Amino acid sequence: MIQLTATPASTLTDEPVHIRATGLCPSQIVIFQATLEDEKGNLFHSQAYYKASEVGEVDLDHAPSLGGDYIGVHPMGLFWSLKPEKFLTKLMKRDVMTSPFLVQIKLYDSNLPLAQIAATDPKVSVTLERWYRAPGVTRIQVQEGHLRGALFLPPGEGRFPGVIDLFADIGGLIEYRASLLASHGFAALALAYCDYEDLPLHPEKIELEYFEEAVNFLLRHPKVLGPGIGIVSISKGAEIGLSMAIHLKQVIATVLINGPNFVFSTPQVYRGQISQPLSFSPQLVSINALGLAQFQYCFEEARSKASETFFLPIEKAQGHFLFIVGEDDKSINSKAYAEQATEQLRRNGKDNWTLLSYPGAGHMLEPPYSPLCCASKLSKLHLFMQWGGEVTLHAAAQEHSWKEIQKFLKKHLIPVVTSQL
Amino acid sequence: MFQLTATPASALADEPVHIRVTGLPPLQIVTLTASLKDERGYVYQSKAFYKANEVGELDLMEAPSIGGDYVGVHPMGLFWSLKPEKVFRRLIKQDVMNSPFYVTLNLYDSVYVQVSTTDQPRASQTVQRWFSGPGVQRVQIQEGRVRGALFLPPGEGPFPGIMDLFGGRGGLVEFRASLLATHGFAVLALAYFGYEDLPKKLEEIDLEYFEEAANWLLAHPKIQKPGIGVISVSKGVEIALAMACFLKHVVATICINGPNAIYEFPLRYKDLVITPIPSFMERVQMDVLGAMRLRHYKGDARDELNQKSVLPIEKAQGAILFIVGDGDECMNSREYAEQALDQLRSHGRNNGRMLVYPGAGHLIEPPYTPLCYASPHRLGSGILLWGGDPVAHAAAQEHSWGEIQKFFREQLTQTRSKL
């Protein structure tokens, strides 16, 4: 009798699942398929072909996929290779507290062409829950002063190391990374800065005082461990994170994922001083065979001619940096910017940084097992903007970098004395 | 005052167009776009950014594009980089006789990464791209079992005869045949499934059907004797090679990105049955967008166990030209061509030749045809990856088209002169 097991059945979305099938015919070729429906009803699928062993078993921890959405031994391949039915739809969990994503793992025991799977019943299937928060994590809507966002707290009395989570300037409030960080013991503030509640739709400038207010808010909170806080930031969020690290001495550990070492698009202001953006040369866009636009080199013309004043004075920051770079980032030239920033630190005699550079990883580095989104339609343009990344390498980078991020934050935010108690 | 000229305004689709702009501010960066609506109403677009010279002029024969759908000096770049608004569509002209494609060229006086419907171009030109020339005749063919369309050049003839075979998409694809006819060949675009009363699906290759078509073509008063050529792509290559092996009237065969062995369905010719090499469905690979790469899918034609399925190409009398896109993601085309040539050599034959185009994909078509990187193959089959780097693919199409015509002229005219 064919049996399919996937354990644990209910997990945090950044934890692995062990998938096994038994009771097959020896050397039989089978298809594993994963299906997920997001909160808007979009369907995502992935599939892989496996060959059963001489005793009729397939253990995804050991067996190689022969073909499909990935090949080789990838125990979590079915998760990170999920692809949308609707072209380039990104998988994003909005409600991180009250519901998980349900992932159906299905087994087909005949050698079917993939196009026919949808019309066929699987031999056996199991459904898994993938949660974005651990049991006991609480969410508090934040509307203090100018601040807009959501604070996620781990269960228990605390105190917990505080982290501010910043995404790119696409607007709204993205919560899933903060809720996961809280599930790993951090007090994480998902901070919105545009197009959310009463925040401006398209701010004319980024006021660093807003982010300073957020740092003070977090440090004031009774469940937050001081005296400093950390930042996890990506893209435009990483530009802001870098400025925060430079100007605010309470920022002692900053994770910069695929971010620039200069201001782009919207200027920054702090205490009356304006940091002008580097100009963007849209004519340097490169559009690939499928019409996906690569903006990676659109700052190069300005960057090569820019005076030093355009580059953020990273040497002034007192805390530590973790640079996370996807070498295949097709939206901005992440590797070059991170290298220039670390070079600037080196020249100033600083060694307060680590650079993790991942070949084949793209712009959208997310928690582990998140499917690669290689391009998105930007609402401001009608183009598809390419993020880059090769599926398998990107997945490996997400797994590795997530562990490194947590290690880095814990190392710098939790005083050694305390952790020995 | 901005002026945009594109000459000739009306031309064959395989002829280049010279695009020039004058009256620009010196060194101004401008946007040039092309757009086309196909016969089903689907829109295709392309764009490139150029910098005017010191006297405010732009000549696409000399100026490099600095960004957009292509980079560098590519006078016909706006044509071959046309992309469907609705992704994964493939541009194929249906009516090749009575209407051209209309390509509208627009000039915008600054950088427009995305042109909206309210943006007005500063200058505009529409060019016509025809798939047949004046005097070319199209004759619908329903003779015996034969189904297709015969394209005849103007005049009395006789003309060198060619049979044109497309691949596994079925139906009748006419645009290559009509263009070849415009260049002086009598071409029978032959359907073999999914057309009129032919079988809906391909389940076997009945070579006697193709023999009937070849005999019919040769018997036509306007076709030169004693031999014909065959041009084929993809699945069509299996058929064309089989014809070359078994039908002595096939004296020149062009095989574009196809196998030298029988796959998927058996081939039957009189008493002979060639069984197919099995495919390994589990070896399909999905790319990041879910398009299927079938390159590793088919069984190995060099495997000892599969030799009975390999076509006996040493029996072919005429010349064979393999055209290979090295970036083909659908088939291991180079491998097939190399094996076929090895087979000829090992039998002391030297009637085979190969042209390999690095970076070209599976769908090598007449020049300036937009690269189709992936598209649905048949209804319900999913999206297949064809592959190809746009610039390399465009260059391959331009070069191979000249080689195709040269090959047929040499091989088919020589035959005639032997009389």
Q: Mutate which of A287, A292, A374 to disrupt the B interface (most B C-beta within 10 Å)?
A: A287
Q: Do B151 and B41 belong together in one domain?
A: no
CB A6 within 8 A of CB A19: yes
Total of domains in chain B: 2
Q: Do B323 and B355 belong together in one domain?
A: yes
Q: Could you tell me if B390 lies within 8 Å of chain A, comparing CB atoms?
A: yes
CA dist., res. A34 & res. B93, Å (int): 39
Question: Residues of chain A with pLDDT > 90: what percent?
Answer: 91
Q: Do B114 and B144 belong together in one domain?
A: no
Contact A51 B87 (CB under 8 A): no
| Residue A113 confidence (pLDDT) | 73
Contact B83 A285 (CB under 8 A): no
Exactly one of B234, B309, B333, B375 is catalytic; name it.
B234
Nearest to B177 by CA among B225, B101, B229, B252: B229
CA atoms within 13 A on the CB side of A223: 18
* pLDDT at residue B74 tops 60: yes
Region B272-299: mean pLDDT is: 93
Q: Do B170 and B242 belong together in one domain?
A: yes
Strand pairing class (A29-37; A43-51):
antiparallel
Burial class (CB in 10 A: 0-12, 13-18, 19+), A243: buried
| Residue A175 confidence (pLDDT) | 97
Per DSSP, A421 falls in state -
Contact A66 B382 (CB under 8 A): no
Which residue in the block uniquely carries the two structure tokens 């925040």? A199
Q: Do B156 and B283 belong together in one domain?
A: yes
Q: Which residue, of B98, B130, B162, is where some domain finishes?
A: B130
* pLDDT at residue A416 tops 90: no
Chain A closest-CA separation from residue B359 CA (Å) = 12
CA dist., res. B333 & res. B245, Å (int): 19
| CB contact residues (below 8 A), chain B span 329-388, against chain A | 371, 373-374, 380-382, 388
Chain A closest-CA separation from residue B4 CA (Å) = 20
Chain B closest-CA separation from residue A249 CA (Å) = 40
Q: Do B95 and B214 belong together in one domain?
A: no
Range with lowest mean pLDDT among A52-56, A375-379, B191-195: A375-379
Assign residue B79 the CATH number of its domain: 2.60.40.2240
Exactly one of B249, B362, B377, B393 is catalytic; name it.
B362
Nearest to B258 by CA among B236, B230, B284: B236
Q: Do B96 and B188 belong together in one domain?
A: no
| Residue B378 confidence (pLDDT) | 74
Nearest to B179 by CA among B400, B401, B362, B9: B401
Ramachandran assignment for B279, one of left (phi > 0), alpha (psi -120 to 50 degrees), beta (any other): beta
Better-scored residue on pLDDT, B19 or B416:
B19
- Token pair, residue A120, equals 């066929």
Nearest to A362 by CA among A390, A401, A323: A390
| Residue B418 confidence (pLDDT) | 46
CA dist., res. A277 & res. A28, Å (int): 59
Chain B closest-CA separation from residue A73 CA (Å) = 15
Which residues of chain B does A382 touch, with a Cβ-Cβ cutoff of 8 Å?
114, 116
Chain B closest-CA separation from residue A148 CA (Å) = 33
CB A416 within 8 A of CB A362: no
Partners of residue A265 on adjacent β-strands: none
Partners of residue A128 on adjacent β-strands: A103
Q: Taking an 8 Å Cβ-Cβ cutoff, which residues of chain A contact chain B?
A: 29, 31, 47, 49, 51, 66-69, 71, 81, 83, 87-88, 111-115, 282-291, 293, 372, 374, 381-383, 389-391
Strand pairing class (B250-256; B161-165):
unpaired
Region B319-329: mean pLDDT is: 97
Q: Do B154 and B90 belong together in one domain?
A: no
Could you tell me the end-to-end alpha-carbon distance of chain B, in angstroms, rounded to an integer?
62
| Residue A119 confidence (pLDDT) | 74
Nearest to A253 by CA among A320, A181, A350: A320
Helix (H) or strand (E) holding B239: helix B235-246
CA dist., res. A264 & res. A168, Å (int): 12
Contact B382 A114 (CB under 8 A): yes
Q: Which residue, of B130, B162, B185, is where some domain finishes?
A: B130
CB B21 within 8 A of CB B58: yes
CB A309 within 8 A of CB A344: no
Active site annotation includes B309: no
Q: Could you tell me if B90 lies within 8 Å of chain A, comparing CB atoms?
A: no
ipTM entry:
0.88
Q: Do B187 and B336 belong together in one domain?
A: yes
Exactly one of B35, B328, B333, B389 is catalytic; name it.
B328
Q: Do B218 and B72 belong together in one domain?
A: no
CA A10 to chain centre: 21
pLDDT digits (tens, 9 = 90+) for A270-320: 999 999 999 999 999 999 999 999 999 999 999 999 999 999 999 999 999
Nearest to B254 by CA among B110, B409, B62: B409
Per DSSP, B310 falls in state B
Chain A closest-CA separation from residue B76 CA (Å) = 16
Range with lowest mean pLDDT among A343-347, A378-382, B55-59, B96-100: A378-382
Q: Do B196 and B263 belong together in one domain?
A: yes
What are the φ/ψ torsions at residue A9 (nearest 5 degrees)? -75, -25
* Alpha-carbon distances, residue B290 vs A47, A294, B248, B383 (angstroms): 10, 20, 44, 7
pLDDT digits (tens, 9 = 90+) for B32-62: 999 999 999 999 999 999 999 999 999 999 9
Contacts of A121 (CB under 8 A, 6+ apart): none
3-state DSSP of B14-44: CCCCEEEEECCCCCCEEEEEEEEECCCCCEE
Q: Which residue among B66, B83, B87 places its CB closest to the CB of A87? A: B87
Contact B373 A381 (CB under 8 A): no
Ramachandran assignment for A221, one of left (phi > 0), alpha (psi -120 to 50 degrees), beta (any other): beta
Strand pairing class (B18-22; B83-84):
unpaired
Which residues of chain A does B382 touch, with a Cβ-Cβ cutoff of 8 Å?
114-115
Which residue in the block uniquely carries the two structure tokens 């996807």? A326
Helix (H) or strand (E) holding B399: helix B390-417
Contact A290 B289 (CB under 8 A): yes
Q: Which residue, of B109, B130, B151, is where some domain finishes?
A: B130
Contact A114 B292 (CB under 8 A): yes
CA dist., res. A121 & res. A118, Å (int): 8
Range with lowest mean pLDDT among A135-144, A224-233, B43-52, B81-90: B81-90
* pLDDT at residue B419 tops 50: no
pLDDT digits (tens, 9 = 90+) for B299-312: 999 999 999 999 99
pLDDT digits (tens, 9 = 90+) for A113-143: 777 777 788 889 999 999 999 999 999 999 9
CA dist., res. B142 & res. B56, Å (int): 57
CA dist., res. A73 & res. A261, Å (int): 37
Task: Look up the domain containing B378 and give its range.
Answer: 137-417
Which residue in the block uniquely carries the two structure tokens 């060229």? B105
CA dist., res. A224 & res. A151, Å (int): 11
Q: What is the largest CA-CA distance in chain A?
A: 73
User: Residue A413 in 3-state DSSP?
Assistant: helix
Region B179-199: mean pLDDT is: 97
| H runs (alpha helix) in B2-142 | 77-80
Active site annotation includes B69: no
| Residue A379 confidence (pLDDT) | 67
Q: Do B77 and B147 belong together in one domain?
A: no
Assign residue B230 the CATH number of its domain: 3.40.50.1820
Partners of residue B228 on adjacent β-strands: B250
